[in-house]
A = this chain, B = another copy of it.
Amino acid sequence: MTQYIPEPTLGRLPWYLAYVSMLRASDVDYVSSTAIARELNVDPSQTAKDLSFLKIKGRTRVGYSVSELEQKLTQFLGFRRQHLAVMIGCGSLGRALIADSGLQRFGLRIVAGFDTDPALAGREVDGVGIYPMSSLEEMRPRLGAEIAVIAVPVDKAQNAADHAVAAGIRALWNFTPFRIRTREDIIVQNTSIYSHLAVMYNRLASVTPSPCKQ
């Protein structure tokens, strides 16, 4: 049984992993939590606390073994295990995510796509077949997928989620800005990339441009 880790910690662990992987590639052998914290602009006591979840022992004055830390983080984050998923909504974003090999590198394997558009059913994206939405319930157990990636238009998000849950999906990775309501035991992770644009646009408009090169 995996330990339940606070979400902010889980959000920071991949930063640490990215950083120690870089150190390993540069042949650095040891690193202290203070050095990691400094490099990543995190409070040092927070980093020490985050890393304590890994149950890894550092050496006094030397710090953590970089390769051991990298290995523990990778294992802990589950990026090496394969997690099967279906893509619900195979429009522009859905197809882009299917085609992104990064997801696979981080342990997510999309095994099938589903779409209500009959024109898409029967097509393939990067070797992943697209099926009619109506066949999700029947196909899901055979596919073994526990995760559904939701990349439908925003007004179809709740419906897609309900459909996925009815088909036995346990976790929803929601790429729409819609707040999905579902059973308490269903895991929902919201990744509305477009929301981040709003922050960026506002900051761009409210900051006085610095003199920049012509």
Contact residues on A (Cβ < 8 Å of other chain), bracket: 35 or more
Question: Chain B CB within 10 Å — which of A39, A106, A183 has the most?
Answer: A106
By a CB distance below 8 angstroms, the chain B residues around A119 are: none
Among the listed B1, B77, B83, B189, which residue makes an inter-chain contact with A206, where contact means beta carbons less than 8 Å apart? B1
User: Contact mask A113-148 → B, CB, 8 Å, 1/0?
Assistant: 000000000000000000000000100010000110
| Residue in chain B with minimal CB distance to A200 | B189
Is A72's CB within 8 Å of the partner chain B? Answer: no
A93 vs B13: C-alpha distance when bound (angstroms): 21
6 closest Cβ contacts across the A-B interface? A96-B96, A78-B201, A2-B205, A168-B212, A18-B177, A187-B203
Beyond A41-B181, A78-B201, list 4 extra A-B contacts (CB 8 Å).
A2-B205, A10-B202, A77-B197, A189-B199
Q: Can you list 20 A-B contacts with CB-CB less than 8 angstroms, sorted by A residue number?
A: A2-B206, A4-B203, A4-B206, A10-B198, A15-B192, A19-B178, A22-B155, A78-B205, A79-B194, A92-B101, A96-B96, A102-B194, A103-B194, A106-B197, A107-B197, A146-B204, A168-B212, A171-B203, A173-B196, A173-B200
